[in-house]
Homo-oligomer: A and B are copies of this chain.
Amino acid sequence: MSASHFAQPAAAPAAQPALIGLDWGTSSLRGWLFANDGAVLARRDGGPGILGVADGEFRTAFVGFCEPWLSGQPDLPVIASGMIGSRQGWREAAYVRAPAGFPDSATGLLALDDAAGRPWRVVPGVLAVATDGEHEVMRGEETQVLGALGAMPAGGRDGLFVLPGSHGKWVRVQAGRIAAIRTSLTGETWAALRGHTLLGRLCVDPDPADAAAIALAWQAFDLGVRQAHAQPGALLHLLFRVRTEGLFGRLRPDQLPAYLSGLLTGAEVADGLAWRATDTTPPVLVGSGEQLQRYTRALACLGVTAIVAPPDRAAAGLHAIARAAGLIGSV
């Protein structure tokens, strides 16, 4: 990977739990147990997303997921971000309007379930209205962006943050506040095309143990990125090439998933780079795993070196917003 990483702060030892943070999305729930200074004392993955919670029993789902942390301290304050604060979640937390930074997110926290004996707060999503009236929104990503901002080198209060996903987000931060958002339906389109078209049936996943096949797949990914960038209005046409390149043996079946991914990722990245206009600071990628690798590589294909944010930016953002809101004391 060609991108540089931030230096990651060393975790200071701190034994006393002070806060539970939750990243509670549509299809997943992750949690962290924080010390007052932000050190992560414990973490849990694999909880139910909001679609996996039956009959609105969110409190039951929360207590079940955090039981080991609550048993000793049932009054630990809780802060959550993500779709838990949407209409489909526990209760809707009204969007705060861009430009929005730490003070706005902290002020906008929704007190959700404090009656149960512990402060239980939800980070509001951010709404950005463009000059042409276009509405853009995020829920959960604002917390990651603010968490990434906190990890930027001293003085870094401006930048372009890129969060790959089902709905890929490009986020412009100015003077420490989220100023503009651009979302692309990249991941969801990928899944729909891969899973539910004749095109998808031509795709064969490469053998992960076959290094030569993996290298060829990345070549096909790069080809897709470059074609999508070179022909910006031709995405639907290029998608048909997944079929013809396979049909005429110009790409192997186990190159086709990467080629398809390259076309879609390339289309998003080319659009995002055009959107950033004259901003020449390196984009900051916030994410993990192979998805992060794809975006780093797509940007590199188009001559742009990205910075990769440290992992777990949601955790960092949750703790920092809780601190800004006074939900936990200062260090």
Contacts and interface: CB of A to CB of B under 8 A. Distances in A.
Interface of A: 26, 134-137, 167-168, 182-186, 188-189, 191-193, 195-199, 232-237, 239-241, 244-245, 247-248, 250, 264, 267-268, 270-271, 274
28 contacts: A134-B241, A134-B244, A135-B248, A136-B244, A137-B247, A167-B240, A168-B236, A182-B237, A183-B237, A183-B240, A183-B244, A184-B236, A185-B197, A185-B240, A186-B236, A188-B197, A188-B198, A189-B236, A189-B239, A192-B192, A192-B195, A192-B196, A195-B196, A233-B270, A233-B271, A233-B274, A235-B235, A236-B268
Nearest to A227: B134
Copies in the complex: 2
Contacts of A244: 134-137, 183
Contacts of A137: 244, 247
A233 B182 CA distance: 13
A330 B193 CA distance: 48
Q: Which of A232, A240, A241, A271 has the most CB of B within 10 A?
A: A240
Contacts of A241: 134
Given A192-B197, A244-B135, A236 B233 contact: no
A185 B264 contact: no
User: Which 6 pairs between the two chains have the least Cβ-Cβ distance?
Assistant: A232-B233, A184-B236, A192-B192, A185-B239, A183-B240, A192-B196
A183 to B, nearest CB: 4
Contacts of A191: 196-197
A234 B185 CA distance: 10
A137 B198 CA distance: 16
Given A135-B250, A244-B135, A244-B137, A236 B235 contact: yes
